[in-house]
């Protein structure tokens, strides 16, 4: 058997021929039928010819970015605090002493 010959079909296998439908809408063609009403209704959402206020948009984007950064920092602080509390609680529940270090300032030497 050469490498150019197709393999023998399996028993019970069928080959289906797919043909392009003649009535299918094309990408650039006009819309016909009930979809035309939906397209007409979308016209009320179109933008008018007023220019964009890029300064305002950039200000709002900067404020949103700062809010997201603050939210991330707050989440990190909360997770770190919870991990510290869990570590201290595990230490106390195992019966050990001195789980939480107490900072005592060194006495002044004259």
pLDDT tens, 94-105?
988 888 778 888
Provide the H-helix boundaries in 1-107: 35-41, 54-93
pLDDT at 69 over 90: yes
Are 99 and 88 in contact by the 8 Å Cβ rule? The answer is yes
Cα separation of 63 and 76, whole Å? 20
With residues binned 3-state (H G I as helix, E B as strand, rest as coil), the percentages for the chain, rounded to 5, are 45, 0, 55
Are 61 and 53 in contact by the 8 Å Cβ rule? The answer is no
pTM: 0.47
Q: What secondary structure letter does DSSP report for 42?
A: G
Mean pLDDT rounded to a whole number for the chain: 81
pLDDT at 72 over 60: yes
pLDDT in tens, 21-48: 776 656 655 555 555 555 566 767 777 7
How far apart, in Å, do the first and last CA atoms of the chain sit? 102
């Amino acid at each position: 058997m050469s490498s150019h010959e197709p393999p023998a079909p399996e028993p019970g296998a069928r080959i289906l021929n797919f043909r392009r439908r003649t009535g299918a809408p094309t990408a650039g063609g006009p819309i016909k039928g009930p979809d035309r009403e939906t397209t007409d209704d979308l016209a009320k959402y179109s933008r008018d010819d007023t220019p964009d206020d890029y300064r305002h948009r950039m200000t709002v984007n900067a404020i949103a970015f700062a809010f997201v950064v603050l939210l991330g920092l707050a989440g990190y602080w909360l997770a770190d605090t919870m991990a510290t509390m869990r570590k201290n609680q595990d230490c106390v529940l195992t019966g050990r002493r001195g789980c939480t270090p107490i900072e005592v300032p060194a006495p002044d030497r004259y």
